[in-house]
Structure formats: C-alpha cells, structure tokens
Structure 1
Amino acid sequence: MAHVSDLIADDIEQYLHLHQHKGLLRFITCGSVDDGKSTLIGRLLYESQMLFEDHLAALQADSRRWGTQGEEIDFALLVDGLAAEREQGITIDVAYRFFSTDRRKFIVADTPGHEQYTRNMVTGASTADAAILMVDARKGILTQTRRHSYLVSLLGIRAIVVAINKMDLVDYSEQVYRRIRDDYEAFARQIGVEAVTFIPVSAFKGDNIVSPSPNMDWYRGPTLMGYLETVEIDEDRMQAAPLRLPVQWVNRPNLDFRGYAGTLAGGVVRPGDRIRVQPSGKESTVARIVTRDGDLEQAVAGQSVTLTLTDEIDISRGDMISAAREPAGTADQFETTLIWMHDEPLLPGRQYLLKLGTRTVTASVTTIKYQVNVNTLEHTAAKKLELNAIGVCNISLDRPVAFDPYTDNRDTGGFILIDRLSNNTVAAGLIHFALRRSQNIHLQPVDINQEAHARLKGQRPCVLWFTGLSGAGKSTIANLVEKKLHAEGRHTYLLDGDNIRHGLNKDLGFTDADRVENIRRVGEVARLMVDAGLIVLTAFISPFRSERQMARELLKDGEFLEIFVDTPLEAAEARDPKGLYRKARRGELKNFTGIDSPYERPESPEIHVDTTRMTPEAAADLIVEHIRNGGYLAP
C-alpha cells in the first residue's frame, strides 16, 4: 500500500501541474498613505495560503497529516513584515508579490501611497491588468486617490475596483459606503472611467475579502478575492490587434541563419505573412517562427520569438516589424501626456533620451500645452513640470520612430524619458498622435555642402564654446581670439551672449527654462554657421552641462571645443563690470548664476583657462595655438 505522504505528494504535484496552466492577473494596489495597502496584501497572501491548504485537504482525505504544523502564517506578523519591508525600500522599488488560488495566479504591485513616490505607482501600473484603489472609510476620497485614479485611467487599466477599507472603524455603515461610492462615481465620470466596482472591506478583520461579511448584509456584490478571480483579463484584445514585433536583437549565429528576436507586442504571426519593417518601410515575408523548443506554426501577442524572413533586408535593434497591411505609424514629433517623476523639473528645450519599446532616441519637449490639476481636472498653463505633475506636451525626436497611439497599444505607444547625464528615468509618456508637421517637413538636399564651404575658406570649421561665470572674461578672451584669427585671414563669427539677447533671443528671460531655450537656439545657429564653413566663437555663461552637451551633439566629432574660462566666484564678483552681482545680492536680479542659480562646471573641457594665473592675451594665444595644433587652421 502506498504511504500516505506519497499520496499527498502526488496530490501536490497534480495541483502544481494544474497551477502552471492557470491564467495570470497582474494588478496594483494604490491610494493614499495609511489606507491599508500593506494590510490588504497581507490578507490576500494569508487567505490564498489558507485556500491552498483547503484545496489539498479536499484532494487528500487524510490531509490532517499533511503538515505545516509550527509553520502556519501569522497574519499580524505578515502584515507588520510587509509594512516594514516596504518602508525600507520605498524610495527605490516597487515590491511585487506572487500568490495563487484554485482559479488564477496573481502578481500584485505593492506601491507606496506617499505623493513624492507617485513614480513608483506609475511603474507598477504600467504592466497591470487591474487596479485596486484603496479608500479609508473614515477619510473618503483624497487628493492622492484622485491622482492615482487619473493615472490608472491614463495608463489604460480597464478593470478598476474601489476597496472602501476599514469599514469596521465606521461601524460597517452603509451610509458611509454609499457616500464614498457616490463621491467617487462623480469623479470617475469626469475622467472618463465608466466601469468601477465598489467593495466595502476590512482588510484587517477579513470582511468581504474571501467570504461575504455578516457585518455588512446590506452589501450584495462580490468579495474582493471573488472579483480578482473572475475579472476578465483582456488577453484577446492585443491578439486581435495588428502585428507588432519590436526587434530586441538580431540573431545571426552563422551565415545560414539571420533571425529577428523580440516579444510580440500585438497581433498574431504565421509563416507566409507579409510584413513591413519600420521606420524604413521595406517589406518581406515571414519564413519561420523560431523558438528554443522548435518552430511554431503561429505566435501570439506576449510570446517571445525569433522571426526569419524570405529576403535579406537591413533590420536593426529598435526597428519594428509590423503587418504590411496595417503598419504602425512613423513620425518624429508627437502630442503626448507626460507624467513627470523627478525632483528636477522638466524644462522645454532640454534634451533627454526617449525609450520606446526597444528604440532609444534623443528627444526634447518643444511645448507644454497645459498641466492637469488632478483635483479639479482644470487645464492650467505651465512653463515647466515639477515632480508628479501631469502635462500634455509636444515632443520632438532626432529621428523617426515606429509607434501606435497609447490607447491602441500600451507597448508601442508608451515611453520613458531618461536624463542623459545621470541615466535616471525622469518621466513616463503616452503618445496621442503624430503632429502633422512631422509628416510635411523633410530635409532638402543641397549641392554645396559643409566640405565645399570649408575647402573654399581653407580651414576646418568648428565651434569654440566659451563657458564660465558672469565676469569671468569669456567675451574679452573670445574677442581677442577672433582678432588673432581675423589677422590670419580666417573666416570667423562671434556669437556673444548679450548681443544675441538684443535680437534672436530678446523674448527670453533668465529662468532655468529660458536659459535652456537660449542655449538651444544658439547651438542651432552655431551649427548652421559651422555648416557654412566658419570658425564660430560663442561666449555664453551656459550654466548647465546638459545644454552644453546638447550643443556638442548637434555637431560632428571634433567640431565642438569647450573652453572653460575658470574664474572663482569671489574674483568674478570683485570685477563685476556690469554691476550685476551687486544687483543680485540686493535681490534686484533673480536667477543670477552663482548667486541663486547654479553653475555646473565642465568636467572635461577641451581647453581650461585659469584666469587667476593667465592674462586674457595669454589665454587667447593658448586657444589659437590649440586649434592650430588640432588641424583647424590649414597652412
């Protein structure tokens, strides 16, 4: 006779086999601080463990001998542990928990309710199928409840349940429940959320979590676990969408095989399907669908596969393989919604890295059209976006990308912005549509190019970018350098900060946003002058590294020479030729670099001029000699 423990082991193995084939629901818990998210997650983990034990008991009549004696979960200790763990990791991570019941597997994103960590909530919600919005029955709908609800709506989560928690602390009042439900429904209509399920619960005591609560016999809806087990997962919607495969890498182990690997972000693909590669627009036919376990006759959204094609065409990481009859769009300018997630504000004109699927490009916000007030949903004007702000913006890329509107495909319509210097993720974005001008404006080829201009002038064009504090001597030294080059018959032009602000940039002030735009315009003008074959000198404070890097990246390697005119603040302030420091110290001049606005010193300039040890004349000689030795001045 088989031993009882062997029978139980067989039952467990059978259960786990069935478990592997259950559907998976990803959901997020969100809401304001102390609404009970940790308690709820602890309760779900605790109850799922109890359900697991009950299932094994039904499978095995002698289940009393199956044992976790001395190992049972203590609910209170579990909740305390979750709360402590989350507090320790609150600033860096979203905690993901896995649990399972007879019907379904679950992954829950446990995110903090603090306003300053809204970015964590966005991270968790970006891959969620459902959202549980926690509301403290004693407090009702709060600002963070509205913010998280708006974000859930923006991020395309269709299954939303409002868990009105701590009902035990309001004597299980039906009147409290109905008041909160009515308040939330009014707000939900404003943000376009139509289907919301409301469940009154006590996560701590277990009311309406797994079993209907006898304390709230007036409630006839589902329990929370019942909702999670039966809510529809919209798996078919993306399979019915057009084919989208962002190419993650090109797999070429030998000359006889060339495959394009990635995870299907939409649609179904079969051998023989006609495809289009974007943004190039080239077409081919699928030859094979290759996986580690062998070839497939069909692959669907969510599967990771390698496609081979019947034609040898140029495809790289970041390209998109689309259905030929229903291709993705391609553009380099969009209207988007941005959720700003960094302490440093978003400044229009500043360049960031944009990651859309497997493609990474350079991007900048050209216009903030408006910011959304999450309490009133009012659209307000904004020149920058602060931490947790939500704004509708126009954005421009340095090259076209393949995309879909976010409402059609979350994977091919959602992106992140990354700070180019720190590599931190600073924003999440949702594409609305391509701007028409991105389709109508094209580069016009010309016959007389930069090389032709440079040959005629007998010099190698470049930008000499002078940076330093006000009063450091940038304009003085730049003027001397230009005089020396002019005396040699060189073709130059000096762009000086004050002179530019009398014309091209007369509409700009001295806020951080205006300083970014000031340097963006100067960088573009300098690029055009280099294209004309000139040696361009620019004398601007240009206080931010990111904008100096932006100007550098507009040019080819070797065409941008950063010259740091290094003068200590005390020395520059002592000179104060224009009286600006005195005004700034008296509070008459706001956002003055070195006083109440930062100056970010160059980290590795091509030329370093120390004005405490060198005269302007000597500095000019040093710079001319440097560019001569670098081959910029043809003999």
Structure 2
Amino acid sequence: MKLKTLLNSCVQLVICKKFCSDENTITISNMEQIKLVIAGHIDHGKSTMIGRIMQDIGALHDDKIELLKAISKRRGMPMEWAFVLDAMRTEREQGITIQTTQVFLKTPTKSYAVIDVPGHKEFLNNMISGAASADAAILVVDAKEGVQDQTRVHSYILRWLGFDSVLVTINKMDLVNYSKERFDELRFQVNKHLKKVGIISTTILPVSARYGDGLVHRSQNMSWFTGPTLMSSLDAFWPKPMPMELPLRLPIQDIYKFDERRIIAGRIESGKLKVGDTLMFAPNNSTAKVRSIEAWGVKLPVLAASAGQCVGITLEDHIFVERGFLASHKTNPPVQTYFFRARIFWLANTPLELGRYYKLKLTTIERIVEVFKIEKVIDIFDLSEHSGNQIERNMIGEVVLHTRAMLYLDEFTFNPHLGRFVLFDGYDMVAGGLVFIDKVQELGLISYKSLQQIPSVEDHVTIENRWRANGHKSGVLWLTGLSGSGKSTLALELENILFRKGWQVCVLDGDNIRSGLSADLGYSPSDRHENIRRVGEIARLFANSGVLVITAFISPYRSDRARARALMPSLFHEIYVNASLDSCKKRDPKGLYKKANNGEIIEFTGISSPYEVPSSPEVEVNTCKQSINQSIEKMLSYIQAKFALENNE
C-alpha cells in the first residue's frame, strides 16, 4: 500500500519542477522502486537478514566483506551480517538498531529501497517514521522465541499505518534444527495474532538469515518446504495502485505568486482533477473552477493530475485559500465535524488523560483537540480491553476527540489518506491515530457531512428587499486595533448615531461575545482563532439579514481577518483603529496592560503576543492624532458613501 510520511510534520510539499508529460497528464518517475520495511522484535535478525541478502545477491564489495569479517573476529563472534547496517558504534556494541537505516538493492526485475527499523521499544518513534513511507512490509519472528512484545507492537503499528497484509519470515530456523513442526506451530501462532489486529499474512516463510537459508536460494536444510524464497516472493509483489478512484482530496500546502499567477500548491492524496473542474475548499466551502495546472519543462499544457502527484493549480476566481485548506469536488466532499471517534496508539512516557489538549496534524491540517471521552483501553500485548481515564505508553485507546474549529477528514476505512493523523504535545509526537466517524451521533455530538450536502433553506426575503425596507445596505464594519486604541468607544458611538437615524445596526465586541458565545474560550492563539471565526460567522448572519454590524475586536492575526472577509467578500469592510502601543498603555482603561506586565495575563497582544497591522484596510483612523469626533466623522463619511441607498441607486 502506497503510504506517505505523515508523521513528523505532515506531508512536506513543494511545487514540483520535474514534471513530465504523457498525453497531457503529469506522471511520476521511479514508480518501479519498492520501499520495503523490515520490522519485528529486538534481536530477531532484521539487520542480519538485510546484510545477508546483500551478500547473496552480490551487492557487497569484497573489501566490505573483509571488513565485516575483521570486525566480527575482533569481537570474538561468527560472521555478523548485521554490521552491514549497524554503522553506529553504539549499535555494534549493543547489538541493536537505533536509527532507521535505508539501503538499496536491485534484482533483475525489481529495485528496492530497504528500510531497517529499530525493534527496541525505546525507539518506536524511529520505527514509525521509517515504516510510514513503505510500500511493503516484512515482519521477522525468531523461530526459537516466537511472537514477542515488540512483534505485537510492530504489527499493530503496521496496521495503523495502513498495511492490511505483510510477508512474515520465521527466522533463525537453524536454532531449532530446521524443524517443520516448530515452523507449523509458529505459523499458526503468527496467523492468529495478525488476524486479531486486522492483517493478512500473505506468505509465511522459514529462513535462516545467518546462513542464507531461504533468502535468495532454496535451503537444503528445509527440503520439506516447497514454497518460494524470500526474494522470489518480493519480486512477485506489486504495490497497490494509487487511490485514483477515491474522491479527490488535495490538502493545500502553500500559495505561491509568480508573475500574474496565484498558484495553489499541494499533493493529491486521492482521486484526480482536471482543468475546468469545480473545486470546493474546506473549511469555508467556497468554490472555484481550475483554470490551469502548472508545470515546468513540458511542451504541452497539463490538463489532468491524479493521486500521488504534487501539483500547482490556478483558479478562475480569486477566493481566499491558505495552507491547511482542503480541496475536493462538490459531489464527494470530506466529512466536516467537531467530534470524531479515533483509535490511537500512545507513544509518550506521560499518559494520555481525559480532558487534556493536544495538537492534531492530518496532512497539512492542524487543530487543537480535546480528549472528550476515553471509551476503552486496549492492551497491545494480549489485546484485552478495559475502561479507564488515561492511556499509558504503548497502549491502544478508543477515544472521542473534540476540536473547537471545524475539522474535515475521512473515515480511515474509506480513505486512509485522510483518515490517519498524529498528535503532538508541544514539539513531541505522542500518538498516531485512525479516524472513525461512525456512531458519533449516538453520543449527541456534532458530526455531519459537508455543508454543501445539507439542503439549504430557501430565503424568500432577498437581501436587496431587506435593504429597501431598511433604507440602507447591510455589511460588516470590522474594527481592529490594539487593546485601548478606542475600538469599542468608536463602535458604540457609531451605533448610537446610526440608530438615531433609523438604521438597523448592532455592535459585537469582546464583552458581549466573551461573556456568552465564547465563554468557553481562553486567550491562546488557537482560542483567539476560534473566537474570531465565531464572530465572523455571526456577523455574516446578521449582515445577510439586513443589519449593519460593527465589530470591535483586537483580532490580531491577518489570517483570521482574511478568513472573516472570505465568508462575505462584498459585505466586509476593515477599519484599522491605529494607536501606538505607548498610548494604549497610558490609557489602559481596564488595567489589562498593567496585569500583563505583572505576568497576570499571558499571551496579551502587544506585550507577549503579536499584533499584525492591516495591509490595506478600507478605512484607517488614528486615535492618537484625531479626536473621537474626528474619527467618527471619517467613518460616517465612508458609511454614507458605501451603505446609504440614495448614493448607490
């Protein structure tokens, strides 16, 4: 199964400069190379197996073999093929693999990138990062020891990464005198375990890595086994095709501007797209047609692209899109939800606890999630289940996660590429998880398909009719500036003046929003993002109902203000209330700067958190240089020009 390295920082995408063209479709070279991961319990012979295969296919130079013999002799041991890969001194001295190692092999029919991953439980993060990019997996089991703890852990991780089948080698058959009875016993044991975790063992082979039995050549010591060798089994393997028939999922990595083009870059995780397709971009569900698919070094225009390819696209309409958005077709969008079930594998020393917050990364999407419920804890060693309020290291948990901002994803069983995520605590990866949407509704939680799939209620009262009835146009005057700049003072005075003129007008500010709708939010960056998102949605509803909305929020981040504008592009008007930080500190009407300087308030804008000045607001007033009346007059002049019907009709 083709997998991406999702685990450490989502998928790092760029606009590829090495596209090639085949019938106007982007193609990717080197697809014939198979990435193969070797997993299993510590000291079951993974590195030895790779080293011996390299010897038997002629991939080791004579001087390398002589060096290995010298090292082995110096240590008083027989020829140790694992030293081919265990390059670190610590690895050789302790006889364990610590870092993920990759070597390249070629047979007459295949090219392999073989990934040797650590078997020790202390290096599971390295094992995961190595296995995540593999197409196929070999699980190594010691013939004498049988299935051990890390065999179980590694097999579960492989399933979590999307492998539904693996090739199994029962290694060190020389230690059990090449016994057919022991092999049959272990074959039954391994099949039973893999079936529990949802993996089908395609082939189970008896081998002896040290002596080369059953790897490249048939074993004279195991004439009772008539099956294939390991390498012939691998040569018969073909990776699953990329998921082109699944719905389109294009996570947005970045936006690039070249000449007059605004290129939206990302990697197609599933499905395909072509020029002229109408794409929908979660989370705001805005739509636009694909104008072009950009490529370099091709003579013909690129008309289509598909799963696994990095693309740069331009759109016919200029809509707000940023990193973390997800493009799909309107007909098959992802699930949008605030709650979802997940099965997670916990890696951290500190246990996962009910009510804790972690950072979720899924492709380029990042969200802060709360552990809303722990439904069961599964012991990875015997797969027994029990209830609990925390999940210890190397345990599996079935949990319900809650995100305050809308999350868009797919169920893992439907689309693994949008159904697999990782959790971070600070900068440390602490868990990997699989998404399950089913039965969330039974908990009374919010989970639904894309808003585009829910039939909208037809509004028989048009916004134009509301304007005529009110005598003015509606919209949103978005006042932004530092705390103490005068936003609320100006907003309330504007509301009073316009109300006396008979306008339908209301004010949204921190006091009336934070005391009710956003009472559950703090002042961290993620909570600020969510607060402004809610304000934008409410302001849009009011504006669409004919009201002139005046908002007074610091809203320190340009991206949040841009997102609010994208909800209602023709109705949004940004007003920058400019005042220097020193002036705001002197005013300090609520004593907030004093508390922030004393450390009583953390992440306070202007002191310990940044404020991003608007780049091109519709109106700017400077309350250090202008009086309140002068600022009001400037804004009223703008309102009269933009919202009074007699000036627009």
TM-score (normalizing by structure 1) = 0.63
Structure 2 residue 299 is matched with structure 1 residue 299: no
Q: Does 1:126 align with 2:132?
A: yes
Question: 2:374 maps to which residue?
Answer: 368
Contact residue 328 and residue 402 of structure 1 kept, 8 A: yes
Q: Does 1:531 align with 2:514?
A: yes
Letter in 1 for 2:447: Q
**1:549-593, Cα deviation, whole Å (9 max, x unpaired):** 69986889999xxxxxxxxxxxxxxxxxxxxxxxxxxxxxxxxxx
Greater RCO between the two (CA within 8 Å, min separation 6)?
A: 2
Name the CA distance, whole Å, in 1 between partners of 2:371 and 2:99: 27
Amino acid at match of 2:136: A
Distance 2:38 2:276 in 1: 43
RMSD between aligned residues: 4.0
Counterpart position of 1:213: 219
Other structure's SS at 1:151 match: helix
Aligned equivalent of 1:42, options 51, 58, 62: 51
Identify if the C-alpha distance between structure 1 residues 306 and 211 changes in structure 2 by more than 3 Å, giving closer, same or farther: same
Give 1:70 deviation, angstroms.
Answer: 4.9
Shift of the 43–355 alpha-carbon distance from structure 1 to 2, 3 Å rule, reads same
1:284 Cα deviation after fit: 2.3
Contact 1:277 1:319 in 2 (8 A): yes
Equivalent in the alignment of 1:290: 294
List aligned pairs for 1:102-251, cutoff 5 A.
Answer: 102-236=108-242, 238-251=243-256
Q: What are the residue-to-residue correspondences of 1:23-34 with 2, within 5 Å?
A: 23-34=32-43
Contact 2:164 2:198 survives alignment (8 Å): no
Distance 2:207 2:97 in 1: 29
CA contact (8 A) 1:338 1:393 kept: yes
Look up the match of 1:82: 85
Aligned mates of 1:320, 1:182 — CA distance in 2: 44
Tell me if the contact between 2:337 and 2:448 (Cα under 8 Å) persists in the aligned partners: no
Change beyond 3 A, Cα 1:194–1:311: same
Match of 2:337, SS state, is strand
Equivalent of 1:407 in 413, 419, 431 = 413
Distance 2:525 2:279 in 1: 36
Following TM superposition, by how much is the alpha carbon of 1:48 offset from its aligned partner in structure 2, in angstroms?
4.2
Partner-residue secondary structure (3-state), 1:318: coil
Question: Counterpart of 1:607?
Answer: 598
Q: 1:439 corresponds to which letter in structure 2?
A: S
What letter is aligned with 1:246? P
The answer to whether the 8 A contact 1:337-1:393 is kept is: yes
**SS of residue in 1 equivalent to 2:86:** helix
Number of paired residues? 447
For structure 1, which segment, 186-195 or 305-314, has the greater mean C-alpha deviation from structure 2 after superposition? 186-195
Distance 1:210-1:314 versus aligned 2 partners, 3 A rule? same
Whole-angstrom CA distance in 2 between matches of 1:399 and 1:91 = 41
Cα 1:549/1:373, change in 2 over 3 Å = same
Q: Is the Cα contact below 8 Å between 1:244 and 1:265 reproduced in 2?
A: yes
For residue 140 of structure 1, report the CA deviation from its aligned partner.
1.1
The answer on whether the counterparts of 1:405 and 1:432 sit within 8 Å (CA) in structure 2 is yes
Would the aligned equivalents of 1:22 and 1:104 in 2 still touch at CA under 8 Å?
no
**Is 1:258 the equivalent of 2:262?**
yes
CA distance 1:409–1:528, shift in 2 (3 Å): farther
Cα 1:314/1:530, change in 2 over 3 Å: closer
CA distance in 1, matches of 2:599, 2:256: 46
Distance in 2 separating the partners of 1:141 and 1:206? 22
- What is the alpha-carbon distance in structure 1 between the residues aligned to residue 526 and residue 325 of structure 2? 27
- Shift of residue 529, structure 1, vs aligned partner: 9.6
Deviation at 1:194, TM superposition (A): 3.2
**Contact 2:335 2:448 survives alignment (8 Å):** no
Q: For residues 326 and 350 of structure 1, what CA distance do their matches in structure 2 show?
A: 33
Q: Decide which of 382, 388, 393 is 1:387's aligned counterpart.
A: 393
Which runs of structure 2 are paired with 1:409-428 in the superposition (5 Å)? Answer: 409-420=415-426, 423-428=427-432
- For the residues of structure 1 that align with 2:294 and 2:251, how far apart are their CA atoms? 16
Give the secondary-structure state (helix, strand or coil) at the position aligned to 2:115: strand
C-alpha change, 1:551 and 1:402, in structure 2 (3 Å) is: closer
Equivalence map 1:440-451=2 (5 Å): none
**1:355 alignment partner, one of 330, 354, 361:** 361
Q: Distance in 2 between matches of 1:288 and 1:78?
A: 53
Residue of structure 1 equivalent to 2:274: 270
Contact 1:115–1:144 (Cα < 8 Å) also in 2: yes
Q: Partner of 1:83: helix, strand, or coil?
A: coil
Look up the equivalent residue of 1:85 and give its one-letter code.
M
CA distance in 2: counterparts of 1:362 and 1:96, whole angstroms: 34
The within-5 A match list for 1:460-471 is none
Paired residues for 1:571-586 under 5 Å: none
Offset of residue 306 of structure 1? 0.6
C-alpha separation between the residues in 1 aligned to 2:531 and 2:324? 24
With over 3 angstroms needed to count, the CA separation of the structure-2 counterparts of 1:185 and 1:77, relative to structure 1, is closer
In 1: Cα distance, 2:97 partner to 2:248 partner: 37
CA contact (8 A) 1:333 1:396 kept: yes
CA displacement at 1:530 relative to structure 2: 8.4
Relative to structure 1, the CA distance from residue 356 to residue 116 in structure 2 (aligned partners, 3 Å threshold; closer, same or farther) is same
Partners of 1:552 and 1:321 lie apart in 2 by: 25
Bigger drift between 178-187 and 150-159 goes to 150-159
1:433 pairs with 2:442: no
The answer as to whether partners of 2:282 and 2:326 remain within 8 angstroms in 1 is yes
**SS of residue matched to 2:352:** coil
1:328 counterpart = 2:334: yes
Gap change, CA 1:317 and 1:384, over 3 Å in 2: same
> What SS class does the counterpart of residue 353 from structure 2 fall into?
coil
Q: Which amino acid aligns with 1:531?
A: R
User: Is the CA contact 2:251–2:269 (under 8 Å) kept in the aligned structure 1?
Assistant: yes
Q: CA deviation at 1:240?
A: 1.9
Residues 322-367 of structure 1 show CA distances to partners (whole Å, capped at 9, x for unaligned) of 1232222222211011111111221222222111111112112111
Q: Which amino acid aligns with 2:282?
A: Q
Identity over aligned pairs, percent: 30
Q: Contact 2:217–2:229 at 8 Å: present in 1 too?
A: yes
- 1 CA distance for matches of 2:198 and 2:255? 41
1:305-336 CA-to-partner distances (Å, cap 9, x unmatched) read 11122222211111111123222222221101
Deviations 1:487-519 (A, max 9, x none): xxxxxxxxxxxxxxxxxxxxxxxxxxxxxxxxx
Task: Give the corresponding residue for 1:344.
Answer: 350
TM-score normalised according to structure 2 size: 0.61
Residues 305, 215 of structure 1: alpha-carbon distance in 2 compared, 3 angstrom cutoff = same
Any idea what SS the aligned residue of 2:167 has?
strand
Q: Which amino acid aligns with 2:182?
A: V
Alpha-carbon distance in structure 2 between the residues aligned to 1:223 and 1:249: 46
CA contact (8 A) 1:118 1:388 kept: no
Q: 2:85 aligns to what SS in structure 1? A: helix
- Does the 8 Å contact 2:346/2:430 carry over to 1? yes
Residue 279 (str. 1) matches residue 287 (str. 2)? no
Contact 1:278/1:402 (CA < 8 Å) preserved in 2? yes
- Give the corresponding residue for 1:521: none
- How far the C-alpha of 1:69 sits from its partner, in A, is 6.6
Indicate conservation of the 8 Å contact 1:342/1:387, yes or no.
yes
